């Protein structure tokens, strides 16, 4: 399976990276001046390492699509490809004459994914989309405790997985129909579709606000974060036996005897008092101590790991979630692995992000049949780069 990847940042690229991990030949196509990601790296050089988080195991072709010859090379490449992924503003590919309809004329088996902030239709479709903007419009940001703080990049990653899923579904469909198709994916749709706290509110029209609020954000004593002597822990004490187990660990007889804490409903109604009792104990103990004791008693509990700790978490380590790739100029780069294991077709992440134009010659010569002299000539004319 060959994928031509035109994405310029995380959105789209993370999804084609997943496909590359399972053996797809992914050719990233970049303008001769480099993508948006490289422009960040030109300001702060070390950040170039971030590219390997999404562009590992890909080939790189530097090609100027603004020239007619560049577009001709692109069309030749598409003829022998299965998938095109692009993340430009709606209309951009059409202006270049490289939209799905025209490419499908010469390759009807092509699957073409457009992944944009708001999709190809609707009143917001021409908005310049950023990850945080999508989190704002899809109803995610409003549910956060701090809606005034920009959240970490999230929708770029998740929408990319939707994109990769869409590609595999379209390829599955192709097995039956012999034809590819167009996928119009909106990050905003993807984020909204998974935000089931919002669905609850929409589907529960007419249900009292307190009940909606409690269902979207359960009281802290049921599901919450508590101070420890050296950081924070989270606990999930939904079932009565879990609450009782926690009470025993904490040696708080009152947590069991007091009528206010007799069941899930009364605890929810007396959340402040209940949470106070929990925190009174947790704040005097270290995270490891708390988690050990609670876990042994059957009360779900975990450490809140800091950004410094999480990559070395023994569970993640044991699952191979921190992958080391060797970058020729940057040395060893640590990136996250694939979050599921497959018994027959395990993923493989082998190479760091390619340099700009690293595979230009290889692709033009071996794949498209150009001679080395012709490629040199194209370089002279600034149509390709390497």
State how beta strands 231-236 and 301-303 pair: antiparallel
| Upper half-sphere CA count for residue 166 (Cβ side, 13 Å) | 25
CB of 280 to another protein, least distance (A): 15
CB of 210 to another protein, least distance (A): 12
- Give the CA radius of gyration of the chain: 26
Helix (H) or strand (E) holding 3: strand 2-5
CB 366 within 8 A of CB 61: no
Q: Cβ closer to another protein: 119 or 357?
A: 119
CB of 179 to another protein, least distance (A): 7
Q: Cβ closer to another protein: 153 or 368?
A: 153
CB 261 within 8 A of CB 199: no
CB of 361 to another protein, least distance (A): 29
Residues linked to residue 186 through DSSP beta bridges, in sequence order: 116
**DSSP string spanning 164-207?**
HHHHHHHHHHHHHHS---EEEEEHHHHHHHH-HHHHHHHHTTTS
Residues linked to residue 86 through DSSP beta bridges, in sequence order: 114
Helix (H, G, I), strand (E, B) or coil at 111: strand
Q: Cβ closer to another protein: 204 or 253?
A: 204
Q: Cβ closer to another protein: 305 or 368?
A: 305
CB of 279 to another protein, least distance (A): 9
CB of 67 to another protein, least distance (A): 24
Q: Cβ closer to another protein: 96 or 168?
A: 168
CB of 374 to another protein, least distance (A): 36
Q: Cβ closer to another protein: 44 or 373?
A: 44
**Count of Cβ atoms closer than 10 Å to residue 1 Cβ:** 16
| Upper half-sphere CA count for residue 297 (Cβ side, 13 Å) | 22
CB of 240 to another protein, least distance (A): 14
Helix (H) or strand (E) holding 44: none
Q: Cβ closer to another protein: 326 or 382?
A: 326
**Count of Cβ atoms closer than 10 Å to residue 117 Cβ:** 27
Measure the CA–CA gap between 108 and 106, rounded to whole angstroms. Answer: 6
CB 156 within 8 A of CB 9: yes
CB of 88 to another protein, least distance (A): 15
Helix (H, G, I), strand (E, B) or coil at 68: helix
CA distances from 271 to 252, 256, 276, 279 (A): 16, 14, 8, 12
Q: Cβ closer to another protein: 240 or 295?
A: 295
Question: Nearest 5°: phi and psi at 149?
Answer: -105, 125
Q: Cβ closer to another protein: 70 or 119?
A: 119
Six-digit token pair at 38? 């490289």
């Amino acid at each position: 399976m060959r994928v031509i990847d035109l994405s310029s940042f995380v959105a789209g690229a993370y999804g084609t990276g997943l496909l590359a991990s399972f053996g797809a030949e992914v050719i990233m196509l970049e303008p001769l001046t480099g993508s948006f990601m490289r422009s960040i790296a030109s300001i702060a050089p070390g950040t170039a390492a971030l590219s390997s988080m999404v562009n590992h195991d890909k080939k790189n072709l530097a090609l100027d699509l603004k020239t007619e010859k560049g577009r001709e090379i692109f069309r030749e490449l598409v003829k022998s490809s299965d998938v095109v992924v692009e993340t430009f503003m709606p209309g951009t590919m059409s202006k270049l004459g490289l939209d799905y309809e025209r490419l499908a004329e010469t390759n009807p088996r092509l699957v073409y994914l457009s992944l944009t902030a708001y999709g190809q239709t609707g009143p917001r479709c021409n908005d310049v989309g950023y990850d945080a903007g999508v989190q704002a419009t899809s109803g995610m940001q409003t549910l956060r405790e701090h809606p005034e703080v920009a959240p970490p990049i999230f929708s770029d990653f998740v929408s990319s997985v939707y994109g990769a899923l869409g590609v595999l579904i379209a390829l599955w469909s192709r097995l039956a129909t012999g034809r590819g198709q167009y996928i119009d994916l909106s990050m905003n749709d993807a984020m909204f579709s998974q935000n089931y706290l919002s669905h609850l509110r929409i589907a529960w029209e007419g249900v009292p606000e307190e009940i909606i609020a409690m269902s979207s954000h359960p009281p802290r004593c049921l599901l919450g974060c508590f101070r420890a002597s050296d950081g924070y822990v989270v606990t999930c004490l939904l079932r009565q036996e879990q609450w009782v187990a926690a009470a025993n660990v904490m040696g708080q007889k009152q947590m069991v005897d007091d009528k206010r804490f007799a069941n899930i409903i009364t605890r929810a109604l007396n959340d402040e008092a209940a949470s106070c009792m929990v925190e009174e104990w947790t704040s005097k103990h270290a995270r490891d101590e708390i988690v050990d004791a609670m876990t042994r008693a059957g009360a779900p509990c975990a450490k809140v790991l800091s950004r410094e700790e999480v990559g070395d978490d023994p569970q993640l380590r044991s699952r191979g979630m921190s992958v080391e790739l060797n970058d020729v100029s940057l040395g060893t780069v640590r990136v996250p692995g694939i979050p599921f294991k497959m018994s027959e077709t395990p993923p493989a992440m082998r190479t760091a992000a390619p340099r700009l134009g690293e595979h230009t010659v290889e692709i033009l010569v071996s794949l498209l049949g150009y001679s080395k002299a012709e490629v040199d000539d194209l370089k002279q004319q600034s149509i390709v780069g390497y």
